[in-house]
Structure 1
Amino acid sequence: MQMADLGDIRLHYRIDGPEDGAPVVFSNALGTDLRIWDRVVARLPEGLRILRYDTRGHGLSDAPEGPYSMGTLVRDTERLMAHVEMQDAVVVGLSIGGMIAQGLAAKRLDLVRALVLSNTACKIGTRAIWAERIAQVEAGGVAALAEGTMQRWFSARFRATPESAAWRHMLERSPVQGYLGCCHAIAGTDFITPTSGLRLAALGIASSEDGSTPPDLVRETTELIPGAQFRLIRGAGHIACVEAADVYAAVLSEFLAAQGHL
């Protein structure tokens, strides 16, 4: 268990792989922690240096009072990469993690060699939608959103398995102030202009059963980056890296190999 003290925030992170391995950074979704990447990391080729972390307000990272800004979340990632002496990485972000990845690439292209935008978009939802979600959490805690969130996160098939309860518990135990802080960050973010200006290798990953960022939304964001690839994973929901880890890892490994990043 590793903690990076960045002065105003302590972030929980984990590094796997050799020090001289090709760097890959994973950024998690709202209401999750770095464990959502466990299955994918276990299926990637050996030799990569993999950084995972709990976004501010999530998992074992500090959860200060919000609201947070997307700029703050991007800066957290930027400083964490400096802390572990990592640059020129392939950055993989899911949902809010994908927004952080876009912001990081726009700000610090020296840190980002290539981008994987998974189940995300340059703008997710509307201010009205996020205001409603924030009000629900303020009134009833994160658990008030659990049923609807699970329907967006996973397919009906996966939700019928005993394992789905564990992921629901992870969501429900998210720190309220951290969840709300990140909701405010998403609500205030529209990266269409900076993402349109990116010129780097990119891959968009969408899932056919994703109720949070449907495939067309992911595709539209991916197509903002000239030459970007797009892959659709069928039968999985928003957290495809959990539900369809074999396919997800194969798609990611293929992209890494195409970049000479193995």
Structure 2
Amino acid sequence: MSLQVAPINGTHIHYSQTGPKDGPVMVFANSLGTDLRIWDDVVGVLSQRFNIVTYDKRGHGLSGIGDAPYDISLHANDLIGLLDHLGLNEVIICGLSVGGLIAQKVIEQQPQRVRGLILCDTAPKLGDYDGWNARIEAIKADGIEVLGDAIMERWLSQGFRKDRALETAMYRDMLVRTTAEGYIGTCIALRDGDLRDAARKIAVPTLCICGSDDLATPPDVVREMASMIPNAKFELIDGVGHLPCIETPELLTRLIDRFTKENNLV
């Protein structure tokens, strides 16, 4: 796996590209407070056939924070800029949580560029204005650390947290080490982002996936998104929280593999 950096929209974006360069392109976009490593177990299998791109959105991982005010369009333009940098014109995007909104914004802006969507534990509109403001103010006052345990309960199922405590602690560290500027900026983007009208216009094969124990985007929220998107399919993963790529990467990989084959995306 090659770790690289690209100058994008006034900052630097850290990314990885792996798999056959002549294979169909699949891009993975991360959730709030995570970096590209959350996809490792999925990429390890799919990179046998796909040209895989993972990246850290601005303010996360090893990417720069940048100076521009954050919104979903900025995050989408960062991904579009990365695709331009890599010369990739037809892609499948798999987006998790805010990554799913980024994927929806990319297809709204450049529909010709996206061949298919996999939307994991996300929606066209996430949370409400007051809820995001409360989170922003808490972090401004006491840092991300103050919300670490509560966010783990939203990210990971009770069973995972009990049986895999060391891994839970590791992902908590990933969260709390995210820059406050990048985390708050992305909270603002989520607070103000609303792609419900755009979702109804999506015209590519779309798979919507949710963990049954997801407290951040509960199954009914993801199921509602699937009903908005023409001909979208919905899959529920039992006993899993907000991050199926971490809890059940084998099952998520099988769902993605079946979806791409059924829709002639490979």
Q: Same fold (TM over 0.5)?
A: yes
Within-5 A mapping of 1:189-200: 189-200=193-204
Distance in structure 2 (CA, Å) of the matches to 1:66 and 1:115 = 27
CA positional deviation for 1:47? 2.1
Q: What is the CA deviation profile of residues 205-254 of structure 1, one whole-angstrom value per residue up to 9, with x for unaligned ones?
A: 01101010001101111211111111000111001110011111110111
Is 2:253 the partner of 1:243? no
* Alpha-carbon displacement from aligned partner over 1:11-56 (angstroms, at most 9, x marks no partner): 0000011111100000000000000100111132622100000011
* Matched letter for residue 87 of structure 1: N
Indicate conservation of the 8 Å contact 2:211/2:241, yes or no. yes
1:83 to 82, 85, 88: 85
Q: Normalising to structure 2: TM-score of the pair?
A: 0.96
The aligned runs of 1:132-171 (5 Å cut-off) are: 132-160=134-162, 161=164, 162-171=166-175
Is contact 1:25-1:50 (8 Å) kept?
Answer: yes
SS in 1 for 2:202: coil
Aligned partners of 1:67 and 1:182 also within 8 Å: no
Tell me: CA distance 1:107–1:21, structure 2 relative to 1, closer, same or farther (3 Å).
same
- Partner residue of 1:27 out of 29, 46, 56: 29
Tell whether the 8 Å contact from 1:67 to 1:181 is kept in structure 2 after alignment: yes
**Contact 2:18–2:47 (8 Å) recurs in 1:** no
Q: Using the alignment, how far apart are the partners of 1:94 and 1:222 within structure 2?
A: 14
Please, which runs of 5 or more residues in structure 2 have no aligned partner? Answer: none
Of stretches 43-52 and 194-203 in structure 1, the one that deviates more from structure 2 is: 43-52
Task: Work out whether 1:210 is the aligned partner of 2:214.
Answer: yes
Which of 111, 125, 134 does residue 109 from structure 1 map onto?
111
CA shift, 1:65, in A, is 4.9
Aligned to 1:257: 261
Question: In structure 1, the residue corresponding to 2:117 is in which secondary structure?
Answer: strand
* Higher mean C-alpha deviation, range 59-68 or range 154-163: 59-68
Q: Contact (CA 8 Å) 2:9, 2:81: kept in 1 or not?
A: no
Contact 1:66/1:181 (CA < 8 Å) preserved in 2? no
Measure, in 2, the Cα distance between the counterparts of 1:87 and 1:144: 42
Q: Show the counterpart of 2:187.
A: 183
Could you tell me which residue of structure 2 aligns to residue 73 of structure 1? 75
Greater CA deviation, 238-247 or 44-53?
A: 44-53
Residues 158-181 of structure 1 show CA distances to partners (whole Å, capped at 9, x for unaligned) of: 112221111010001001100000
- Distance in 1 of aligned mates of 2:76 and 2:24: 21
TM-score, normalised by the number of residues in structure 1: 0.97
Instruction: Indicate the SS of the match to 2:146.
Output: helix
Note the alpha carbon deviations across 1:102-127, whole angstroms, 9 max, x for none: 00111101221011111000000001
Query: 1: distance between equivalents of 2:11 and 2:116?
Result: 27
How far apart are the structure 2 equivalents of 1:232 and 1:43? Answer: 21
Q: Do the aligned residues in 1 keep the contact of 2:201 with 2:230 (CA within 8 Å)?
A: no
Q: Following the alignment from structure 1 to structure 2, what is the Cα–Cα distance between the partners of residues 90 and 224? A: 20
Cα displacement (A) at 1:7? 4.7
Percent of residue pairs identical: 38
The answer to whether the Cα contact below 8 Å between 2:210 and 2:222 also exists between their aligned partners in 1 is yes
Say whether the 8 Å CA contact 1:103–1:191 is kept in structure 2.
yes
Q: 1:177 to 1:136 in 2, by over 3 A?
A: same
Contact 1:64 1:177 in 2 (8 A): no
Q: Among residues 17, 20, 28, which one is paired with 1:18 in the alignment?
A: 20
The runs of at least 4 aligned residues of structure 1 exceeding 6 Å deviation read none
Aligned to 1:2: 4
Q: Determine helix, strand or coil for the equivalent of 2:230.
A: coil
List gaps (5 residues or longer) in structure 1.
none
CA contact (8 A) 1:93 1:100 kept: yes
